[in-house]
Structure 1
Amino acid sequence: MSAPVQNDDQSAQIIPQEAFDWYDQYAHGIIDRRTFLSRLGSLAAMGFSMSVLSSALLPNYALAEQVSFNDPDIKATYLNFPSEKGHGDGRGYLVTPSEMSAKAPLILVVHENRGLNPYIKDVTRRAAKTGFIAFAPDALHPLGGYPGNDDQGRDMQRSMDRAKIEQDFIAAAKFLQAHPSGNGKLGAVGFCFGGYIVNMLAASIPDVISAGVPFYGTPATKELRKNIKAPLLVQLAELDKRVNASWPEYEQDLKDNHVDYTMHMYQNANHGFHNDSTGRYDPEAAELAWQRTVSFFNQHLR
């Protein structure tokens, strides 16, 4: 499989699937940066420049704004929240509809393994634009917050205590559920690492999470999965071998525990297909997955 991008002469080129697989391995710490760049260099013999490869694989956040922070239909701000079992103090991006005639449903938006970047902030605004109170915590807040660079953000998050990060998200979920303008029904949507966090929250605080949408996320630990009560909408990418390898066992556990779940597998899509800032973005799959997400939350949270 492969994906088209534009080269420096604006003529279409096809990036081999291996390049996307290598990026996924690099982004998740399976290979280091030197190995990743070395493997990309091997594609030079096929006529690809590093600039073409970089434009296909690395994020361009100028592309990741579907809803402006100045949109009159929403209000955006930052809030701190207590996290006694985590890092003590958390911080996140809160976006609410400008006008609410009644208490609104709530959505926790969970970022990838690199902090609260512009793409996730835009997803949070998209959720508010459709009538939800949306909150996106930044796991990197204890280290000063998302640094403006994904590579640095990834290194920062990797250096942190994962158990404390998980407790921060548990605290954020409880904080959001109690929002005075909310109806008390909380959904969670997350991407990559965030998909894992959604699965973990559904298993760890089943009385708090009313619905979960993990995008290409691995499951919670096996001993926790029996606690899941909330309906799940599982979004997976066909070409994402790493995450998909965990699905058969997870699905069996969901069946065994009588969890209401639906899984959608998006054909020819890569891990990260919803992220509109990189070449892995699949517009058709991303739009369909988001429509399904909003419909699912409307069904279970309103």
Structure 2
Amino acid sequence: MKNQPIDPQLYALYDEYCHSAMSRREFLNKAAKLTIAGGSAIVMAQALLPNYAHGHTISFTDSRIKPSYVEYPSVGGNSGKMRGYLVAPAGEGPFPAVLVIHENRGLNPYIEDVARALAVDGFLALAPDGLYPAGGYPGNDDDGKIMQRALDQDKLFKDMLNSAYFLKSHALSTGKLGATGFCFGGAVVNRLATDMGADLLAGVPYYGRAAKTEDVANIQAELMIQYAEQDPRVNAMRAEYEQALTQHKKKFAMHVYPDTQHGFHNFSTPRHNQTQADIAWQRTISFFKRTLAK
């Protein structure tokens, strides 16, 4: 199914499902009513759901990394405590640090794999689980999406902000901090840039909501902003964000990846575009190596 084109109607419906209260049953029922060419709508819809059998590219036993789960205080967050997946490169350190922020469904296997990939390239990576105050990622994205929507969103951001400072001050960190995130996580990276000032050196948001225009003047981090070509909900904010960043003379680059959908970096669904995801990730690693090595 990954090699079979997905009808654009299904991509649009799946995007709505991911970013609304729509249940999996409702998504599949709506998909079944679509008339599409070249295959079964319901089969295509089922294929779009994440398959975490393909949820990792780097094993948690890889000798190049040292992964662990850590708990830490989060004053002002949803419960006062947080838990995250901390992955260090093999070796003594210290290392430049990168916060990895999940999509709108908690710390799933895909995001843990992103943290491992960063550690392989020499970064101390922390992927916080925003669902920890509600019991943690439940093992499936459907329940995770519902749980995350139910959280106090301001306190959820505070949990991510506290995670950033925990990582920055970690004994294995050089104190040079970057952040990357996907969808919800991309929006959080943009907001961290407005809120953290010089404490955040670099940010790579993937297809996330832009920072508030009135807050762009506060950004001191250098940004590399990644967009999918076919992502009307997020891309509608791009021009205004670019204008504000330019007006305030911020250091940034924007990349739009051809033939991609929202979520193209996530290799667990057919939205994944291997070629463009590899280009985006190579740019991400090169960017962090440059900005966090100062």
Please say whether Structure 1 and Structure 2 have the same fold, judged by a TM-score greater than 0.5.
Answer: yes
1:257 deviation in Å?
1.2
Q: Between 23-32 and 122-131, report the one with greater CA deviation.
A: 23-32
Q: For residues 141-196 of structure 1, give each alpha carbon's deviation from its aligned partner in whole angstroms, at most 9, with x where no partner exists.
A: 00110000101000000000000000001100011000112111000000000000
Amino acid at match of 2:146: D
Looking at structure 1, the residues matched to 116 and 19 of structure 2 have their Cα atoms a distance apart, in angstroms, of: 26
| Residue of structure 2 in register with 1:244 after alignment | 235
| Residue of structure 2 in register with 1:9 after alignment | none
Asked if residue 185 in structure 1 is aligned to residue 176 in structure 2, the reply is: yes
The two structures, once aligned, show a CA RMSD in angstroms of: 1.5
Amino acid at match of 1:145: G
Query: Could you tell me whether the CA contact under 8 Å between 2:7 and 2:36 is conserved in 1?
Result: no
1:268 to 239, 246, 259: 259
| Residue of structure 2 in register with 1:211 after alignment | 202
Asked if residue 110 in structure 1 is aligned to residue 101 in structure 2, the reply is: yes
SS of corresponding position for 2:215 = helix
Looking at structure 2, the residues matched to 14 and 66 of structure 1 have their Cα atoms a distance apart, in angstroms, of: 24
Q: How many residues align?
A: 291
Q: For residues 111-136 of structure 1, give each alpha carbon's deviation from its aligned partner in whole angstroms, at most 9, with x where no partner exists.
A: 00000000000000000010000000
1:235 deviation in Å?
0.4
Distance verdict in 2 for CA 1:73–1:42, change over 3 Å: same
Looking at structure 2, the residues matched to 45 and 86 of structure 1 have their Cα atoms a distance apart, in angstroms, of: 45
Looking at structure 1, the residues matched to 18 and 44 of structure 2 have their Cα atoms a distance apart, in angstroms, of: 19
2:158 to 163, 167, 171: 167
1:90 to 82, 86, 89: 82
1:282 to 265, 268, 273: 273
Amino acid at match of 1:149: N
TM-score w.r.t. length of structure 1:
0.92
Looking at structure 1, the residues matched to 202 and 116 of structure 2 have their Cα atoms a distance apart, in angstroms, of: 19
Amino acid at match of 1:296: F
Looking at structure 1, the residues matched to 51 and 287 of structure 2 have their Cα atoms a distance apart, in angstroms, of: 29
Q: Between 43-52 and 239-248, report the one with greater CA deviation.
A: 43-52
1:257 to 248, 253, 257: 248
| Residue of structure 2 in register with 1:298 after alignment | 289
SS of corresponding position for 2:270 = coil
Q: For residues 189-228 of structure 1, give each alpha carbon's deviation from its aligned partner in whole angstroms, at most 9, with x where no partner exists.
A: 0000000000010001112211000000012223322100
1:45 deviation in Å?
6.2
1:49 deviation in Å?
5.4
Q: Between 220-229 and 201-210, report the one with greater CA deviation.
A: 220-229
Amino acid at match of 2:251: D
| Residue of structure 2 in register with 1:143 after alignment | 134
SS of corresponding position for 2:191 = helix
1:30 deviation in Å?
7.2
Looking at structure 1, the residues matched to 158 and 99 of structure 2 have their Cα atoms a distance apart, in angstroms, of: 14
| Residue of structure 2 in register with 1:39 after alignment | 30
Structure 2, unmatched stretches of 5+, are none
Query: Could you tell me whether the CA contact under 8 Å between 2:104 and 2:185 is conserved in 1?
Result: yes
| Residue of structure 2 in register with 1:156 after alignment | 147
- Indicate the percent of aligned positions where both proteins have the same amino acid: 48
Looking at structure 2, the residues matched to 180 and 274 of structure 1 have their Cα atoms a distance apart, in angstroms, of: 31
| Residue of structure 2 in register with 1:15 after alignment | 6
Report matched runs for 1:60-79 at 5 Å. 60-79=51-70
Amino acid at match of 2:65: I
Distance verdict in 2 for CA 1:170–1:13, change over 3 Å: closer
